[in-house]
Amino acid sequence: MLFTAQVKVMPLKDLLDPQGKAVLGGLQLLGFNQVHDVRIGKFIELHIEANNKEAAFQLASEAAKKFLANQVMEVFEVNIF
Amino acid sequence: MLFTAQVKVMPLKDLLDPQGKAVLGGLQLLGFNQVHDVRIGKFIELHIEANNKEAAFQLASEAAKKFLANQVMEVFEVNIF
């Protein structure tokens, strides 16, 4: 069966996010003054061939740990559909 | 009230996603042969000061249209929490 895994990778809460800070600056220049904070991460969609949802989850989590996310600086979250 | 807006920006389905293709190649080199397709987008979290959820949604959608997403190449989706 074909599953879709969505892996969300975000910078750790306590780390500075320079890309987010830059976008926050841009938004404020455009007049979006109600925006107080911006954090930017990656959203990765994988199509996985697996026997069941559990196996797809395991595979996506392993891929995220080994390759998609840098756990020193980022946290990830996996959802299977 | 402070709301969190999550804006997911993905490349359009019909467009080539070179970043996704590169990651797919990397995953296959690592032995993740069950992965058939990868698409990579951005996940942007905004903290917005607004009177209600509806206003926060409007603001985040406008920011996405004007600045966060390039609608020629990308689609976006806004969720408010």
Hey, are the CB atoms on A30 and B67 less than 8 Å from each other?
yes
B2 vs A contacts (CB less than 8 Å) = 36
Chain B, nearest residue to A31 by Cα: B63
- Structural domain boundaries in chain B: 2-80
Chain B, nearest residue to A67 by Cα: B27
Pick the CATH number of B2-80 from 3.40.50.300, 3.30.1280.10, 3.30.56.10, 3.50.40.10: 3.30.1280.10
Q: How far is B36 from chain A (nearest CA, A)?
A: 5
Low-confidence ranges of chain A (pLDDT < 70): none
This prediction's pTM: 0.91
Q: Identify the pLDDT of residue A53.
A: 95
Q: Identify the pLDDT of residue A70.
A: 95
Q: Identify the pLDDT of residue B11.
A: 96
Hey, are the CB atoms on A38 and B46 less than 8 Å from each other?
yes
B65 at interface of A, judged by CB pairs closer than 8 A? no
> Tokens at residue A72, please?
């020193």
Low-confidence ranges of chain B (pLDDT < 50): none
Task: Give the separation between CA B43 and CA A44, rounded to whole angstroms.
Answer: 9
Q: Is A57 exposed, middle or buried (0-12, 13-18, 19+ CB in 10 A)?
A: middle
- ipTM score here? 0.90
